[in-house]
Amino acid sequence: MSTGDADIDAVPADASGIAAYGDAIVAELAAADLADTLDAAPAAALVARLRDLHVAMRAAMPMRGRPRAGLFARLTGRDVVDQHEAKALGARMGVLLIDADRAAAALRADIAAHRARLAASAPALDRLDRAAAALRAGIADDIHHDLRLRRAQHLETVRATHALSARQLQLIAGQHEAVLAHYRNVRDVLLPLWRQRAAGERTAQGVAHAVTAADIEADVAHELDAMTATLARRAPVRADRPKETDV
């Protein structure tokens, strides 16, 4: 930070100036409203696109390699409907993969933007610390020491509330990154191997493969389950901003 920047960011010396300085930071943090900046929709959209791709993979497999429909599905005719839908998706695997890649790119951009906003809010929390410390430092010499103490406590409470929200949001961002990691494993490892095995199983040589297309399809199902479970652990992050009368 340059000397000019340090002067601009310096905490005022008088109590009213410190209070105004702290109020401006509180307003800045409220305007950022970080709890609304990390939406669950992009991660959920990626999981939905991958589920479509997974169904299409099953449809493209040889009949003997597909999971057998349950008794209830066969009795109700649901297996026929599912097979029809799977064939329709199977014919669109290329498009589905493009859709999934776009969903993954949107999620990556969302996470990056969110982490940038979190990083940008960190200096404001440090300024709140300095303002509260300055208010407390002059309490003994101020005739209005009770008011000065309440203002300091208010800034400290706001700081703690925003810091807690930021930590929770960091955890959620990490969960979304875990969802992306599962997708990359499917996209870059399992799907190419599945294509190789599915093509091989249409030939006599394919029977000799130790790992079959059905095995890989099951691995994709496990990755999907892991992604869904990760999103289900999403924690609540919204905390009401404390009013000065609360302290």
Quick: pLDDT tens for 154-180.
888 988 988 888 888 888 899 999 999
CA–CA distance, 209 with 200 (Å, rounded to integer): 8
Q: How confident is the model at residue 211 (pLDDT cuts 50, 70, 90)?
A: confident
CA–CA distance, 247 with 245 (Å, rounded to integer): 6
Q: How confident is the model at residue 246 (pLDDT cuts 50, 70, 90)?
A: very low
Whether the CB-CB separation of 107 and 180 falls below 8 Å is answered with yes
Parse the chain into domains and list their residue ranges.
13-236
User: What pLDDT is stored for residue 124 in this prediction?
Assistant: 87
How does DSSP classify residue 37?
S
Average pLDDT over the chain reads 77
Tokens of 153: 């406590």
Count of CA atoms in the C-beta half-sphere (13 A) of 166: 20
User: What pLDDT is stored for residue 144 in this prediction?
Assistant: 64
Quick: pLDDT tens for 1-20.
444 444 446 677 677 788 78
Whether the CB-CB separation of 78 and 136 falls below 8 Å is answered with no
Which DSSP string do the residues of 195-215 spell out, in sequence order?
HHHHHHTTSGGGGG-SS-HHH
